[in-house]
Amino acid sequence: MAELMREVVVDASPATIFPFLTDPAQHVRWMGTEAELDPRVGGVYRVLAQGKHPGVGEFVEVVPDRKVVFTFGWDEPDHPIPPRSTEVEITLIPDGDKTRVRLVHRGLPDDAISDHTQGWDHYLDRLSVVAAGGSVGPDVPAEAV
């Protein structure tokens, strides 16, 4: 198993970014077309990515305005990354008047690193825009636009 780490600096405070990680209405502004989030230890993490890929897990750690950790996997038949089989940690690190968002995704199969790196880069870019007050449109596949 492998892990990936991505970072992006966002022009917003940790307090501004945190709801995008825990509030379903804010979460779907950057990732997913539907979200069910219960941000407490053992609470559900469920996001429908691009309107067709159900990501499922549960919250493991929630530190307001600092960090969320949740298990994650895909609820699709025969998917090699089943629900709750990996762990995602998102840490919000103050960086002057901005925030460094550090994402670590652990427990991925080696052959899934490239796809998940590309996916997280896409979503962290979207988070950067919406957390700074912009809009990125709905989370739909590029071919649907």
The helix or strand, by DSSP H or E, that contains position 58, with its residue range, turns out to be: strand 53-63
- Evaluated on CA atoms 130, 85, 114, 69, the torsion sign reads positive
* DSSP of 62-107: EETTTEEEEEE-B-STT-SS-TTSEEEEEEEEEETTEEEEEEEEEE
Q: CA–CA separation, 42 vs 101, rounded Å?
A: 23
Say what percent of the chain tops pLDDT 90.
95
pLDDT in tens, 44-69: 999 999 999 999 999 999 999 999 99
Residue type, 88: V
Does this model's pTM top 0.85? My answer is yes
Average pLDDT over residues 111-121: 95
Q: What is the distance of C-alpha 31 from the center of its chain?
A: 7
Measure the CA–CA gap between 62 and 84, rounded to whole angstroms: 16
